[in-house]
Chain A
């Protein structure tokens, strides 16, 4: 049936035009000075030496790592926990499943504005309920708040985890029950190991997603503050490119992101592969 291959061409053309061409453009512009007004001017490795010395960039990179360290485990745990809790055929599960997905379909901007209200020290319900004040004016308060916010928008990971959990044959669990395995033994020796390859993939995707999901809240809630605590890489790129119009240098950062992403993907891929062999 490989005669159907041509039906993939529109998609492939789209990927070429919107991903491959821009990636090549970034790789070229990375070696230029380009403000958008004059044509790009080749400057060799100048941008790269600037990048190495750019403390603000490395700070935003460190902020991103902090965000990943808090948000990814939180999001993954929430998604897997919800999937395991809601996988059974029961009326309550059926009703709760769409609710878990619901925050994910809330537009990012509306969601960010909602949290702007929730976290407001004077009017916000959270402040009133838990006595928070100045969450967003404290660097760590802001960092944690943004990560917690993200832990509600886990719909896709939840769906994937749910699908994986449901793909484990029922008989395997029945065999374990007859074998005398308790709930904890079943979870740690059966369910989680069987889900692990996909969970690794989800974690990887979430790490990469973290390079962009926090852009909207960082822009709208904290504007990168306080004291640059929530200036993440995407926000930094945005400011460099569209506030200061250093399009050449922004491309250098983008290219670096490509390279780092490729490295992360490669390392995780190797780990996942080795892990699978060991299992």
Chain B
């Protein structure tokens, strides 16, 4: 029994370590001095630790501009996503069973559609609307809650609220929008928090949309801007890793800050 526990504990620690390893290598690699010869064998802590790469990278790419653009997109897209997803989730949670089945079915079907099949027609559509090389194609996914997955997350959260609460509010004379605003939303704030963090991570990482729809360098967001560093020589990879760390940090920090609410809302632990 206790032996089993020990094995399990070890497995848990090992599992955590495995998933943490890539990030640790990212950070350690970013501290290596560039231009050095290859290490002699496996080195965990690189020789010649330095923070310089975090400055040098700005000389290679206008990371500041990219960060600003990414921030603008996220600032618009995340709240829109949360509201659209929350409304649709509330509609699902309070719909008649036939309507609910239809809406959930639509969400699942939409989740199944490979986005790569939509690249070309969306490109044609945005071009026709004259929106190419603007921020709008990057913000557009927020109109459909970024991904129907977030709609389902809200639907699950609202489904946990006893429906009599909504009925009581309705008897008080509240409109559906007021019921959402005053009853449903306050009772599912952690779900909104979780969706906001996920949506932020999604938009922050969005690589394909700017790749396809943005052509001016000064309008690029971080992920595509980062791509330019791919051409660096291996000896300069630490610079590339420093940029990666800076791009990775915001969503990681947001996720870690929200993870309690996130796990509690999604799996109830």
A contact residues vs B (CB 8 Å cutoff): 1-8, 10-15, 17-19, 21-26, 29, 34, 36, 81-82, 85-87, 89-90, 92-103, 105-111, 113-118, 120, 122-123, 125, 128-129, 152, 156, 159, 162-163, 166, 204-205, 208-209, 211-212, 215-216, 220, 233-234, 237-238, 241-242, 247, 250-251, 254-255, 257-258, 261, 265
Q: How many residues does chain B have at the interface if contact means C-beta atoms less than 8 Å apart?
A: 103
- B193 sits at the interface (CB 8 A): no
Q: Which residues of B contact A14 (CB under 8 A)?
A: 84, 142-145
Looking at the complex, which one of B92, B166, B235 makes contact with A8 (CB distance below 8 Å)? B92
List chain A residues, Cβ under 8 A from B83.
10
Q: Are B84 and A122 within 8 A (Cβ)?
A: no
Chain B residues near A255: list those with CB within 8 A.
117
- Per-position binary interface string of chain B over residues 89-115, scored 1 when its CB falls under 8 Å from any chain A CB and 0 otherwise: 011101110010001001001111111
Residue of A nearest to B268 (CB): A166
Q: Which residue of B lies closest to A115 (CB)?
A: B22
With a CB–CB cut-off of 8 A, which chain A residues contact B179? 4
Q: Is the CB of A258 within 8 A of B117?
A: yes
Distance, CA A193 to CA B130, complexed state (A): 52
Contact of B125 with A21 in the complex, beta carbons under 8 Å: yes
Question: Known contacts being A5-B91, A17-B143, A18-B144, is A107 close to B207, with CB within 8 Å?
Answer: yes
Per-residue A-contact encoding for B1-21, CB less than 8 Å = 1, 0 else: 000000011011101100110
Known A-B contacts A14-B84, A254-B121; the reply to A108 vs B240 at CB < 8 A is: no
Name the distance in Å between A264's Cβ and chain B's nearest Cβ: 9
- CB contacts (< 8 Å) of B170 on chain A: these are 1
In the complex, the answer to whether A105 meets B251 with C-beta atoms within 8 Å is yes
Q: Do the beta carbons of B42 and A125 come within 8 Å of each other? A: yes
When each residue 231-242 of chain B gets 1 if its CB lies under 8 Å from chain A and 0 otherwise, what string results? 000110100110
**Contact assessment for B230 and A116 in the assembled complex, using a CB-CB cutoff below 8 Å:** yes
The DSSP consensus for interface residues of chain A is helix
For A4, give its contact among B23, B91, B247, B256 (CB under 8 Å): B91
The answer to whether B20 touches A102, judged by C-beta atoms less than 8 angstroms apart, is yes
B255 and A23 contact, CB distance less than 8 A:
no
Residue of A at shortest CB range from B201? A105
- List the A side residues contacting B166 at CB < 8 Å: 1
B116 partner, pick from A12, A87, A107, A237, beta carbons under 8 A: A237
**Cβ–Cβ < 8 Å partners of A258 in chain B:** 113, 117
Q: Is the CB of A85 within 8 A of B95?
A: no
Known A2-B95, A261-B117: A85·B8 in contact at CB below 8 Å:
yes
A96, B25: Cβ atoms closer than 8 Å: no
Chain B proximity of A222: nearest CB distance (Å):
11
Classify the secondary structure of B's interface with A.
helix
Closest to B259 in A: A98
Q: Indicate if the CB atoms of B234 and A120 lie closer than 8 Å.
A: yes
- In the assembled complex, the CB of B200 is this many whole angstroms from the nearest CB of chain A, namely 9
Q: Does B119 contact A (CB under 8 A)?
A: yes
Q: A22-B122, A254-B121 are in contact. List 11 more A-B contacts (CB 8 A).
A: A12-B88, A21-B121, A105-B252, A107-B205, A114-B244, A120-B237, A129-B42, A212-B116, A216-B207, A234-B116, A247-B120
Instruction: Tell whether B208 is near chain A: CB-to-CB under 8 Å.
Output: yes
Chain B residues positioned under 8 Å from A3 (CB to CB): 176
Q: Is B38 an interface residue (CB 8 A)?
A: yes
Q: Which of A82, A87, A220, A261 contacts B114 (CB 8 A)?
A: A261
Contact of A36 among B91, B113, B117, B127 (CB under 8 A): B127
Q: Is the CB of B248 within 8 A of A110?
A: yes
Q: Would you give the shortest CB distance from A249 to chain B, in whole angstroms?
A: 9
Is A128's CB under 8 angstroms from B39's CB?
Answer: yes
Pairs A–B under 8 Å by Cβ, sample size 21 = A1-B163, A2-B95, A2-B99, A18-B140, A19-B144, A22-B118, A26-B120, A90-B12, A94-B269, A96-B16, A98-B255, A98-B256, A102-B19, A102-B20, A109-B247, A113-B240, A117-B29, A159-B267, A220-B227, A247-B124, A251-B120
